[in-house]
């Protein structure tokens, strides 16, 4: 019988580049699905129609949380060569979760905030399944989400508005903690000032043709990363490989891109 190794014998040293877990969120029509579709050998689990016009492998469109879990189990058990799984989108998945809860529990059982607790538990099942794909099948994971502008009550200043993922508070916190990087993308806008007579002026927003991906928290939006990424990443209009502009700053993806 082989001698069991001690915990100290299992200590690892050095850097280990594991498949990343990303949440990519941003303003409507910015091209979140297009960016994710350019990730290494991606396959989509569509909860909405966002990727219909994109030439990328897609699972059948799902209409419930259980269908998402069935497709994740298929990716775990069945033979394939996909390297990245994309759920498009997390906020539509959240809607499915709440519909599933209403069908399974009474209104009383979901009262006093218990609905958000149960919803987070269900989302955690999905995140756990994604972790299994990451750890056992070596797949990277991307969750796409829409955004909304909400009031942020800062303990250090007066309240202010900021962009954040379009998710309920408990759900959003769960996914953001799970993610290795939360990336916010929006259009780059220049403000042009024009005199309007007297002391008045008009201000107009002018698109520069760039999409900005932000990787660190700022008062205007939530973002984070566990890598050494630049604060801002530019993606030009009609960029043929938009995800590569992000992936080259993440060691695991950089190695995959170099091998292509």
At 41 the pLDDT is 96
pLDDT at 69 over 60: yes
At 1 the pLDDT is 53
Which of 38, 87, 43 has its CA nearest to residue 245? Answer: 38
At 70 the pLDDT is 97
- Whether a cis peptide bond, with omega within 30° of 0, leads into 89 is yes
**H-type alpha helices, the chain:** 32-37, 65-77, 90-104, 114-137, 169-178, 242-247, 251-259
Beta pairing partners, 5 = none
Beta pairing partners, 24 = 144, 183
Domains of the chain: 18-185+212-259 (3.40.50)
The span from the CA of 174 to the CA of 119, in Å, is: 11
**pTM for this prediction:** 0.89
pLDDT in tens, 192-209: 555 555 555 555 545 667
The span from the CA of 140 to the CA of 124, in Å, is: 17
pLDDT at 187 over 80: yes
Kindly indicate the confidence band of residue 13, based on its pLDDT and cuts at 50, 70 and 90: confident
229 within 8 A of 218, measured Cβ to Cβ: no
């Amino acid at each position: 019988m082989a001698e069991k190794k001690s915990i100290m014998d299992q200590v690892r040293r050095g850097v280990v580049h594991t498949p990343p877990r990303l949440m990519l969120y941003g303003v409507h029509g910015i091209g979140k699905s297009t960016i994710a579709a350019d990730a290494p050998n991606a396959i989509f689990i569509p909860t909405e129609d966002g990727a219909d016009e994109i030439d990328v492998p897609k699972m059948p469109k799902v209409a419930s949380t259980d269908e998402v879990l069935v497709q994740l189990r298929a990716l775990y058990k069945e033979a394939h060569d996909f390297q990245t799984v994309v759920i498009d989108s997390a906020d539509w998945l959240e809607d499915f979760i709440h519909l599933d809860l209403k069908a399974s529990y009474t209104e009383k059982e979901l009262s006093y905030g218990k609905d958000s607790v149960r919803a987070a538990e269900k989302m955690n099942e999905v995140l756990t399944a994604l972790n299994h794909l990451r750890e056992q099948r070596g797949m990277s994971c991307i969750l796409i989400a829409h955004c909304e502008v909400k009031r942020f009550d800062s303990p250090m200043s007066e309240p202010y508005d900021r962009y954040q993922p379009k998710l309920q508070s408990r759900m959003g916190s769960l996914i953001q903690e799970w993610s290795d990087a939360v990336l916010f993308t929006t259009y780059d806008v220049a403000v042009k000032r024009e005199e309007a007579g007297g002391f008045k002026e008009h201000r107009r927003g002018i698109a520069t043709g760039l999409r900005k991906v932000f990787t660190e928290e700022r008062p205007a939006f939530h973002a984070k990363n566990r890598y050494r990424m630049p604060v801002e990443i530019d993606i030009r209009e009609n960029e043929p490989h938009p995800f590569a502009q992000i992936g080259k700053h993440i060691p695991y993806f950089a190695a995959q891109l170099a091998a292509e």
